[in-house]
């Protein structure tokens, strides 16, 4: 983009912000006139007597409303929230003093906490847009609305510390290497304990624990001799697996995310605001806030073997990066290879750990290539009903007709969790995806070997998917079909129970 274009975009944004500010002031004046009137009633519930758009000028009133309330029954709007509705804030506004945050700093204290809370003692100090909890923040709001959770509830983080140590790693201190998770998200309760006890609402965005896994396929692998019981990783004849786990919620550093996708930060902010129905106006009005907690699904990490080996380049590492597929992963749908490949990845991770290395499964909540399950099922219907049936040559066409794009997983941010783990090389990558491979290698992590799913694990009805993907660029150790050959690869009809 040219400097002239940049100036034009900036001028337009400033004009839009000023228009929004004036509109809010006019609305505020109109609402203030209602504050002296008798509030209308619906049944026995009073509405808030004063609803205003003006923000953060009366400390005492806001603080009084922060007193914990009982969570036994729904309250009125006025009993749960300050009387003034704060739609947005602005840089330099009276009372607004965000906590210092330096993305990529050498330690958590220097970097500063990520504060997204709207609690009374935190709202003026917020340095992040959005809400804690990822996609589950909506359920928290619902719990508050129905009276199950006090609006100002603060968790007790005693005894929640990680069960094993991750980092710090040099990649944590590079503001461009990790831009979609908070590398210090798991230590926030301990590092910022004093701030939390003083009233600042700092929440962890990563949790680390240990567990056992029980899967029917692992029990079968033990019975057939494919996996050996060692008492440490495969712990018994039932095939139970000892695993170390981590859960990560998304925390986006907006300048870094924009750079990763090769777009301007202003455009990223505008799209995130406009194309989510106007969610989070501070994306537009607070250009000084560089961190955003998007309401999207998070990441799960499963480590087989010693977690310390994950960042040790002298140990062999097997990795599968898997994107969520509820139909296959959970319910066993055979129209795709997702569950078979995931199970195969787990088996190979376990074997790598038993051989003195370590295995890692990274699971992203990106259902249906991040298009969603409704879109995915619509595509299934169109594939099965199209002229000529469900064929590999039209596999991506049906998706593009419905969604407008064949894939929205956009793997550019995916390697961040690998850098959070401190991974320096991948000996065996259990994936055929060219997008995942290119994103990982492009981020500076070499991949020694790529391992495709064995043919015997591919369900018959999923040949359409896998052959189409191989033809589009997925890795294979075999041949790539021609367009004519793809047209002859056909999935079964709904009524075909023997295919």
List residues with catalytic annotation.
407, 409
Return all residues near 270 (Cβ < 8 A) that are at least 6 apart.
13, 283, 284
Taking a C-beta distance cutoff of 8 angstroms, is the pair 180, 252 a contact?
yes
Alpha carbons 453 and 456: distance in angstroms, whole number: 8
Return all residues near 24 (Cβ < 8 A) that are at least 6 apart.
53, 54, 87, 88
Closest by alpha carbon to 298, among 332, 318, 324, 277?
324
Taking a C-beta distance cutoff of 8 angstroms, is the pair 178, 418 a contact?
no
Strand partners, 177: none
Per the document, the length of the chain is: 499
Taking a C-beta distance cutoff of 8 angstroms, is the pair 130, 104 a contact?
no
Alpha carbons 268 and 257: distance in angstroms, whole number: 8
Structure tokens at 328: 């296959």
Alpha carbons 367 and 376: distance in angstroms, whole number: 9
Closest by alpha carbon to 372, among 431, 327, 417?
327
- Give me the sign of the Cα torsion angle 30, 34, 35, 41: negative
Phi, psi dihedrals of residue 382, rounded to the nearest 5°: -65, -40
Structure tokens at 347: 């088996």
Query: What are the Cα distances from residue 497, in Å, to 380, 460, 461, 494?
Result: 17, 12, 11, 8
Taking a C-beta distance cutoff of 8 angstroms, is the pair 368, 375 a contact?
yes
Cα-based angle 263, 91, 296 (whole degrees, multiple of 5): 50
């Amino acid at each position: 983009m040219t400097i002239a274009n940049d100036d034009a975009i900036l001028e337009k944004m400033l004009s839009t912000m000023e228009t929004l500010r004036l509109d809010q002031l006019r609305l505020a004046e109109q609402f203030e006139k209602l504050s002296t009137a008798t509030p209308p009633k619906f049944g026995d519930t009073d509405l808030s007597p004063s609803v205003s758009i003006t923000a953060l000028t009366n400390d005492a009133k806001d603080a009084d409303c922060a007193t914990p309330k009982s969570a036994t029954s729904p309250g009125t709007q006025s009993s749960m929230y300050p009387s003034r509705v704060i739609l947005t804030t602005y840089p330099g506004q009276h009372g607004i003093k965000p906590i210092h945050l330096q993305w990529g700093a050498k330690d958590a204290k220097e970097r500063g906490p990520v504060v997204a809370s709207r609690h009374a003692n935190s709202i003026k100090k917020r340095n992040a847009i959005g809400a804690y909890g990822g996609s589950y923040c909506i359920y928290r709001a619902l719990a508050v609305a129905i009276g199950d959770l006090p609006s100002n509830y603060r968790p007790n983080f005693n005894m929640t510390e990680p069960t094993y140590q991750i980092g710090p790693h040099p990649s944590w201190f590079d503001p461009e290497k990790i831009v979609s998770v908070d590398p210090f998200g798991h230590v926030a309760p301990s590092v910022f304990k004093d701030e939390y006890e003083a009233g600042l609402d700092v929440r962890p965005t990563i949790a680390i624990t240990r567990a056992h896994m029980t899967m029917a396929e692992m029990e079968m692998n033990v019975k057939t001799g494919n996996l050996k019981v060692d008492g440490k990783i495969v712990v018994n004849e039932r095939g139970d697996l000892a695993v170390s786990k981590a859960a990560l919620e998304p925390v986006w550093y907006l300048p870094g995310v924009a750079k990763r996708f090769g777009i301007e930060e202003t455009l990223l902010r505008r799209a995130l605001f406009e194309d989510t129905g106007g969610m989070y106006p501070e994306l537009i009005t607070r250009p000084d806030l560089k961190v955003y907690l998007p309401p999207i699904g998070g990441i799960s990490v499963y480590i087989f073997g010693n977690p310390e080996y994950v960042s040790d380049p002298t140990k062999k590492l097997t990795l599968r990066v898997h994107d969520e597929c509820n139909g296959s992963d959970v319910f066993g749908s055979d129209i795709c290879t997702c569950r078979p490949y995931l199970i195969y990845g787990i088996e190979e991770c376990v074997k790598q750990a038993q051989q003195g290395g370590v295995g890692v499964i990274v699971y992203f909540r990106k259902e249906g290539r991040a298009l969603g399950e409704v879109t995915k099922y619509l595509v299934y219907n169109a594939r099965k009903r199209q002229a000529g049936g469900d064929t590999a040559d039209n596999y991506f066409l049906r998706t593009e007709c419905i969604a407008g794009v064949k894939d929205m997983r956009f793997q550019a941010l995916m390697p961040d969790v690998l850098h959070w783990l401190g991974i320096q090389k991948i000996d065996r990558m259990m994936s055929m995806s060219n997008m995942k491979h290119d994103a990982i290698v492009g981020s500076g992590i070499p991949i020694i070997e790529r391992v495709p799913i064995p043919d015997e694990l591919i369900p018959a009805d999923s040949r359409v998917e896998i052959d189409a993907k191989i033809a589009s660029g997925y890795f294979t150790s075999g041949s790539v079909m021609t367009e004519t050959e793809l047209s002859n690869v056909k999935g079964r009809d709904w009524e075909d129970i023997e295919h």
